Amino acid sequence: MRPDTPAAHTTEAERLLRTAAQYPEDREPLLLQAAAHLELAGDRPGATALYDSLLSPEPAQPHLIRALKAANLWEYGHEAEARAIIDGLRRARPSDAAPWEITAETLEAHDELEAAESTLTEAAELLATSPELPHATQSLLITRHRVRRMLALPHDDWDVRADRLHGGAVPLDELHDPKRLWSLGSEDPAELQAEIDRLRSELGTYRTALSRPFPVAVLHWPEPELDELLAAYPELEAEYPTYRAHLTDLEASLRELSEAGTPNLGIVRATVPSYEAFAASESTHPSNADLLPQYATTLAARGRAAAWPPARGAECWCGSGRTYGECHGGAST
CA–CA dist 167, 299 (Å, integer): 31
- Rounded CA-CA distance 192/185 in Å is 8
Is 241 among the domain residues?
Answer: yes
| Residue 109 sits in the same domain as residue 177 | no
Q: What is the pLDDT of residues 30-73, one digit of tens each?
A: 899 899 989 989 999 999 999 999 998 789 899 999 999 999 99
d(CA 266, CA 134): 13
Whether residues 163 and 248 share a domain: the answer is: no
pLDDT band at 332 (very low <50, low <70, confident <90, very high): very low
Establish if 207 belongs to a structural domain: yes
Contacts of 333 (CB under 8 A, 6+ apart): 248, 251, 327
Based on the domain organization, do 149 and 15 belong to the same domain? yes
Distances from the Cα of 273 to the Cα of 177, 227, 241, 280, 304, angstroms: 52, 13, 21, 11, 15
Residue 305, CA distances (Å) to 190, 219, 270 in order: 46, 9, 10
In a domain, 294, yes or no: yes
For residues 328 and 191, give the distance between their C-alpha atoms in angstroms, rounded to a whole number. 56
Tell me, yes or no, whether 70 lies in a domain: yes
Q: Which tens digits make up the pLDDT trace of 139-187?
A: 999 999 999 988 889 999 999 999 988 877 778 887 787 766 455 556 6
Q: Does residue 83 form part of some domain?
A: yes
Q: How many CB atoms lie within 10 A of CB 104?
A: 28
Decide if 62 is inside a domain: yes
Dihedral of the CA atoms 195, 100, 19, 39 (nearest 10)?
Answer: -60
The number of folded domains in the chain is 3
Final residue belonging to a domain, choices 212, 244, 275: 212
**175 shares a domain with 165:** no
Give a yes or no: residue 324 inside a domain.
no
Tell me the range of 81-95, 205-219, 244-258, 296-310 where mean pLDDT is highest: 81-95
Chain-centroid distance of CA 37 in Å reads 17
For the whole prediction, is pTM greater than 0.75? no
181 & 69 share domain: no
Side chain identity, residue 197: D
One-letter amino acid for residue 61 of the chain: Q
Question: Is the residue at 330 inside a domain?
Answer: no
Q: How far apart are the first and last CA of the chain?
A: 47
User: Which of residues 184, 212, 240 is at a domain's end?
Assistant: 212
Asked if 27 and 85 sit in the same domain, the reply is yes
Do 206 and 297 sit in the same domain of this protein? no
Q: Are residues 153 and 227 in the same domain?
A: no
Closest CA to 170 of 209, 135, 204: 204
How many C-beta atoms lie closer than 10 Å to residue 50's C-beta? 27
| CA-angle at 139, arms to 192 and 62, nearest 5° | 135
39, 142: one domain: yes
Containing domain of residue 249, as a range? Answer: 216-307
As a whole number of angstroms, the distance between CA 130 and CA 210 comes to: 24
The string of pLDDT tens digits covering residues 133-147 is 888 899 999 999 999
203 with 220, same domain: the answer is no
Alpha-carbon distance 48 to 32, whole Å?
11
Task: Find the CATH number of the domain harbouring 46.
Answer: 1.25.40.10
Q: How far is CA 329 from CA 7, 42, 244, 258, 296, in A?
A: 50, 48, 15, 13, 22
Same domain assignment for residues 142 and 187: no
Answer whether residue 194 shows pLDDT above 80: no
Sheet strand arrangement including 216-220: 216-220, 265-269, 306-307
Asked whether residue 19 falls in the same domain as residue 89, the answer is yes
Last residue of a domain, one of 156, 180, 212: 212
Question: How does pLDDT run across 226-235, given as a tens digit for each residue?
Answer: 999 999 999 9
Which three-class secondary structure string do you get for 6-19? Answer: HHHHHHHHHHHHHH
